[in-house]
A and B are shown apart, each in its own frame.
Chain A
Amino acid sequence: MAKNITADVGKFGKVTGFEVSDVVEFRGIPFATIPARFRRGERITALSDGSHDATKYGPIPPQNPEDKGRTHEMWLFGEYVKTFWAVESQRTMSEKDCLNLNIVTPKDAIGSNKKLPVLVWIYGIPTCYGGLMSRRRICFREQFQIYV
């Protein structure tokens, strides 16, 4: 069993993830709410109940499972699309609760004030399907203060 680790993120709340060898994984942390369909999301600055169980993945945005069979995607990404859907299709979809993120940090960064580079992975085009397990992503790099 993986050992659970709770990070106190100040005003945001307490987030409980788990350790995998020398890193800690936090899954499905909500970062924004969706007030209504076709409205912009609103950033969350504090967890509604003050804590979050980040040991499980959150829901993914609604998408059409039929997209997995589209000819051009199969032709371009063949095996990738198949693998992706084998994993992703087992996960819950939610229009309102899909705005969640995963964080992985070195274990000794927890509770430390040292700044580390943060890689942010945003799954890329096509915009019709995707999810946090998606591998094809745009990558950029920025310096952030660590709060975990």
Chain B
Amino acid sequence: MYNGVKTVQHSIEWGEPVITVSLNYRLNYFGFLASKELIKDNAAHGGGVGNYGTNLIN
């Protein structure tokens, strides 16, 4: 979606208003690199490996 403006404008015209949210996440190696070493490294920091993209810690 180029941005949400058109979508929301149409939603209002249709009488079914919505809110749109679009978000960034890390890509490529920054987002998805995985290895045994990274599992160890991450163990003390909330765990998780191979998906730093959208997998957040509360």
Measuring CB to CB, which residues of chain A are less than 8 angstroms from any residue of chain B? 20-23, 25, 31-32, 34-43, 58, 60-64, 95, 98-106, 109, 116-123, 127-135, 137, 144, 146, 148
Asked if residues B21 and A63 are in contact (CB atoms below 8 Å), the reply is no
CB-CB under 8 A for A104 and B26, given A20-B5, A40-B52, A43-B58: no
CB-CB under 8 A for A31 and B17, given A20-B5, A37-B30, A38-B33: no
Asked if residues A23 and B12 are in contact (CB atoms below 8 Å), the reply is yes
Q: What total count of A-B pairs have CB within 8 Å?
A: 161
Asked if residues B57 and A127 are in contact (CB atoms below 8 Å), the reply is no
Asked if residues A135 and B1 are in contact (CB atoms below 8 Å), the reply is yes
A4 to chain B, nearest CB (A): 16
A102 to chain B, nearest CB (A): 5
Asked if residues A121 and B26 are in contact (CB atoms below 8 Å), the reply is no
Across the two chains, which residue of chain B brings its CB closest to A63? B27
Q: Mark B1-41, 1 if CB is under 8 A from A, else 0.
A: 11111011101100011111111111110111100001001
